[in-house]
Amino acid sequence: MSKTIIVSNRLPLQVKTDGKDIKVTPSVGGLATGMKSVHRDSNGVWVGWSGLTDEEIDDGMQAKVDQAVQKEQCVAVNLNEDDIQNYYYGFSNRTLWPLFHYFLEYTEFEKESWESYKRVNEKFAKVVVDQIEEGDRVWVHDYQLLLLPQLIKDEKPDVPVGFFLHIPFPSYEIFRTFPKRKEILEGMLGSDLLGFHTYDYERHFLSSVKRIANKEVRFNKITHDNRIIKVDSFPMGIDYKKFEDAAKKNQDQSKKQRSEVQRRLDEHLNESDSAKMVLSIDRLDYTKGIPNRIRAFEYFLNKYPEYQEKIRLIMLAVPSRSEVPQYQKLKKETDELVGRINGQFSTVSWTPIWYFFRTMPFENLIDLYTSSDVALITPVRDGMNLVAKEYVATRTEQDGVLVLSEMTGASKELGEALQINPFNFEEIADTLKRALEMPKAEQKRRMLSLQKRISRYSVEKWAEEFMNALESSQNVSQYIQAERLTQKHQRNILKTVEDSENTIIFLGYNGTLVDYTDKTEDKTPDKALYDTLAKVSQRPNVELCITSCSENENLQKWFADTDYRLISDHGAFYRKHNIWTELEALKTDWMEDVIPVLETFVDRTPGSYLDINRFSLAWHYGDADIEMGEKRVIEINTVLTSLTSNTDLSVFHGKEVVEIKSTKVSKGYAALQVLKEKDFDNIIVIGDDWTDEYMFEDLPDHAHSIKVGIRKTNAKYFVKRVEEVRAFLNLLG
């Protein structure tokens, strides 16, 4: 039975050892909940680090750890102390985390930690690849494993790989500063589906893919390595029912059943009718806007002194990454700010900020959520922020107000929250006042809409949608009309050759018969190719016609010793029985008018250039800013269409090129002239680029047309690589 392999930095469990015994407890975080149906029900496997370093596990213990972890359907990746220091605290949390959250000033780049990051991603790849069986799929999570998708693809090209990024993807202007930007993108592009929390992260990623990795992007699809990669947003949800049920239970409990935390909260709330509580919960992280929040609260107490002694900010800050200096600095700053404000405003019976620096059990978390009039969530940058959603889920009476930073991914979905700019203290203070004074009816109206939306798109639904999208990303023919050329198709075509009186095979050259990676130079045919072509042409009823954009001198040089038909220069020249003819008396006087127009585009688009060929003009923008280039294409089309109407000129848009030429110069037109010479009852045509599309389109419907590569095509079939063309020709031979 096929399974899903989930991969994340940490396994969803806590492993404790007291020297001899191992204790494993499953953790109940959001991701683990969301993945439950994928992991448990489908017999899945979860690959990740157990939390214990190699140094903490002695020889005798390893087998026990593996066994205990296996019981939870998990497989551990073994990491040592050095990995944790360099890959985890180093590259993941001192480089990628600040960079992706726009903290350029905190972003350190050290070669050693980059090397370690690569090494650990390889360790993960090895474990994952070992687990893969026929029919399996892999879902990789988060910024610690950005190189993993490609490492898996290299080993298992046919296994579907999905990747989800839990943090923001920064804008191109930020991402481009990063020394290993290309390597990171290429690592991610090993996936078949890439998921982000929001559309903004998705478009930032696509922009970097276009501009840095120089890949073809159409809407949300990337063509890379003969695959189509889909990019989409999947806003992560929460286990809504779990929070709602826990809140209901909390409400129903008797006084005696209440926790110590709940009792303390009640004491404050019962002091007077106007007593209010404001809540914030986050990991102590500089992205969460904690100092901003405290300063804004101070500003609020000064600006609205009537709230003094009535309002309390409860701040739960969970310890996090305390080995990283910026986190130590933040801890110090937070302690000092809380101390200063409490020192300044406290009275005998009131302290404005209750500050907890620890984790709390789930039940206490619910005490906090259900007792607070306002949730004040102010990150300066946050991928999603699940706390905002959890607060909403626990408001069973539909009261309470969510004040939410517009810099969180969650703000895109939670339009009914009061949204603030976390850098604007005055706005935070005024919005807090508005929240505290909001009429109950308005609270209810907003809360109901929020709840309706969040309950619908739960974390289970999120995982399900991602998996469905991964499944459908496999179906390449969904995006292109052509069918993959199978063995059966090949045998059928071979049969038509055997049954025919006269077959002609039109073959593209660069990119069809020879690999064409260095696009600046034509490639000379190799011996194997000469042999293959010779074999095919020895069939008495078969003729070959090689069609190329190259100049006729080149083709003549390469195929001087053969009698193949040749079409060169995009279809302008034709060779038969070793005699070259110009297919049309081609005029070029139109170039005089068009060249100055295209030159203005060259001037206005840095990186673009004009190629003046014998019969055509081509404006290339592959090295220009790709987005600017695409904008210019629209302008060029408008200008040229008016200029070329009433002429036999046409404008073609290819990959990063706009070409203007006579309609009579095309491989399609040339191929039709060849067909007029003889009664060919069977036609095969194979090509790879946009100039070959004219043959696919112009040749009769019964032609067997095959495209090399998977870009949009008019051909009936497609193959992925040049080797497949050669293998097919060998079969015909």
Which residues in the 695-714 window bind ligand GDG by CB under 6 A?
none
Residue 689 touches ligand GDG, criterion: CB under 6 A? no
How far CA 196 is from CA of 37, 163, 410, 730, in Å, comes to 20, 9, 12, 45
Are 295 and 428 spatial neighbours (Cβ–Cβ below 8 Å)? no
User: In angstroms, what is the minimal distance from the CB of 8 to ligand GDG?
Assistant: 11
Of 423, 271, 406, nearest in space to 348 by CA:
271
> For residue 47, what is the DSSP state?
E
Q: Check if 681 is active-site.
A: no
* Cα(700)–Cα(674) distance, integer angstroms: 13
Contact between 165 and ligand GDG by CB under 6 A: the answer reads: no
In the set 52, 386, 699, 729, which binds ligand GDG (CB under 6 A)? Answer: 386
Q: Tokens standing for 670?
A: 């040339």
315 or 686, CB closer to ligand GDG? 315
CB of 189 to ligand GDG, least distance (A): 21
Active-site residue, selected from the candidate residues 166, 197, 204, 620:
166
Closer to ligand GDG by Cβ: residue 146 or 703? 146
Interacting stretch for ligand GDG, rule CB under 6 A, among 76-84, 218-226, 378-386, 652-660? 378-386
The gap between the terminal CA atoms of the chain, to the nearest Å, is 41
**What is the total count of residues that contact ligand GDG (CB under 6 A)?**
19
Residue 407 CB, shortest distance to ligand GDG, in Å, is 11
Work out whether 404 is an interface residue with ligand GDG (CB under 6 A).
no
**Interface segment toward ligand GDG; rule CB under 6 A; list 302-310, 376-384, 456-464, 696-704:** 376-384
Q: How far is the CB of 402 from ligand GDG (least distance, A)?
A: 13
What's the rounded Cα separation, in Å, for the pair 454 and 462?
A: 11
Question: How is residue 370 written in tokens?
Answer: 């259900």
CB of 385 to ligand GDG, least distance (A): 5
Position 385 contacts ligand GDG (CB under 6 A): yes
Span of 60-68, 258-266, 377-385, 685-693 interacting with ligand GDG by CB under 6 A: 377-385
Q: How far is the CB of 167 from ligand GDG (least distance, A)?
A: 5
- DSSP for residue 29: -
Nearer to ligand GDG, 35 or 618 (CB): 35
Residue type, 423: F
Q: Does 48 bind ligand GDG (CB under 6 A)?
A: no
Closest to ligand GDG by CB, 366 or 533: 366
Piece of 149-157, 344-352, 385-393, 548-556 that binds ligand GDG (CB under 6 A): 385-393
Which of residues 3, 10, 123, 166 is near ligand GDG by CB under 6 A?
A: 166
Q: How far is the CB of 93 from ligand GDG (least distance, A)?
A: 12
Pick the binder of ligand GDG from 387, 504, 546, 729 (CB under 6 A).
Answer: 387
Annotate each residue in 173-192 with x if it binds ligand GDG (CB under 6 A) or - if it does not, as one string. Answer: --------------------
Q: How far is CA 574 from CA 179, 555, 662, 673, 700, in A?
A: 50, 10, 16, 10, 20
318 lies in the binding site for ligand GDG (CB under 6 A): yes
Shortest Å distance, C-beta 316 to ligand GDG: 6
Instruction: List binders of ligand GDG among 425-454 (CB under 6 A).
Output: none
Residues 6+ apart with CB under 8 A from 480: 228, 710, 711, 712, 713, 718
Question: Taking CB under 6 A as the criterion, which residues in 346-375 touch ligand GDG?
Answer: 359-360, 362, 365
SS3 101: coil
| The two three-digit tokens of residue 336, written as one number | 């000092």
Secondary structure of residue 314 in the 3-state scheme: strand
Helical H segments across 418-486, by residue range: 425-436, 440-456, 459-473
Here the tokens at position 714 are 């008019």
Q: Is residue 512 helix, strand or coil? A: coil
**Which residue lies nearer to ligand GDG by CB, 292 or 616?**
292
254: which residues sit within 8 A by CB, 6+ positions away? none
Q: Which of 625, 622, 578, 574 has the alpha carbon at shortest distance from 604?
A: 625
Structure tokens at 178: 């990063």
**CB of 472 vs ligand GDG, minimal distance in Å:** 23
Residue closer to ligand GDG (CB basis): 30 or 668: 30
| Least separation in angstroms between CB 232 and ligand GDG | 15
Shorter beta-carbon distance to ligand GDG: residue 15 or 284: 284
Task: Considering the complex, state which of residue 360 and residue 672 has its C-beta at the smaller distance from ligand GDG.
Answer: 360
Token digits of residue 633: 């294409």
Q: Which is nearer to ligand GDG, 318 or 657 (CB)?
A: 318
Distance in Å, CB of 365 to ligand GDG, minimum: 5
Q: In terms of CB distance, is 30 or 90 closer to ligand GDG? A: 30
CB of 360 to ligand GDG, least distance (A): 4
Half-sphere exposure (Cβ direction) of 322: Cα atoms closer than 13 Å = 7
Smallest gap from Cβ 386 to ligand GDG, in A, equals 3
Footprint (CB under 6 A) of ligand GDG, residues 258-317: 281, 283, 316
Q: Does 383 bind ligand GDG (CB under 6 A)?
A: yes
Q: Which is nearer to ligand GDG, 377 or 684 (CB)?
A: 377
Residue 318 or 586 with smaller CB distance to ligand GDG: 318
204-243 residues near ligand GDG, rule: CB under 6 A: 236
Residue among 384, 404, 485, 683 that touches ligand GDG (CB under 6 A): 384
The correct pick among 192, 244, 367, 382 for binding ligand GDG (CB under 6 A) is: 382
Query: Is residue 382 annotated as a catalytic residue, yes or no?
Result: yes
- Contact between 471 and 509 (Cβ < 8 Å): no
Exposed / middle / buried, residue 46 (Cβ in 10 Å: 0-12, 13-18, 19+):
buried
Please state, in angstroms and rounded to a whole number, the distance separating the CA atoms of residues 208 and 214: 8
Alpha helices, DSSP H, located in 590-721: 591-604, 626-644, 667-675, 693-698
Torsion angle of alpha carbons 319, 321, 326, 331, nearest 10°?
Answer: 10
- 7, burial (CB in 10 Å: exposed 0-12, middle 13-18, buried 19+): buried
Count of CB atoms within 10 A of residue 649's CB? Answer: 22
Residue 25 near ligand GDG by CB under 6 A: no
Q: Which is nearer to ligand GDG, 281 or 699 (CB)?
A: 281
Catalogue the long-range contacts made by 13-22 (C-beta closer than 8 Å, 24 or more residues apart). Answer: 13/50, 13/69, 13/72, 13/74, 14/51, 15/50, 15/51, 15/52, 15/65, 15/68, 15/69, 17/52, 17/56, 17/57, 17/61, 17/65, 22/61, 22/64, 22/65, 22/68
Cβ atoms of 550 and 510 closer than 8 Å: yes
Instruction: Give, as one character, the DSSP assignment of residue 305.
Output: G
- Using DSSP's 3-state secondary structure scheme, residue 514 falls into strand
Which stretch in 145-153, 383-391, 440-448, 594-602 sits in contact with ligand GDG by CB under 6 A? 383-391
Alpha-carbon distance of 256 to 447, in angstroms, equals: 30
Can you tell me which of 6, 8, 24, 30 binds ligand GDG, judged by CB under 6 A? 30
| 398, 441 Cβ separation under 8 angstroms | no
Beta bridge partners of 419: 404
390 lines the binding site for ligand GDG (CB under 6 A):
yes
Q: Which of 382, 430, 569, 698 is catalytic?
A: 382
Enumerate the active-site residues: 166, 382
Binding site for ligand GDG (CB under 6 A): 30, 166-167, 236, 281, 283, 316, 318, 359-360, 362, 365, 382-387, 390
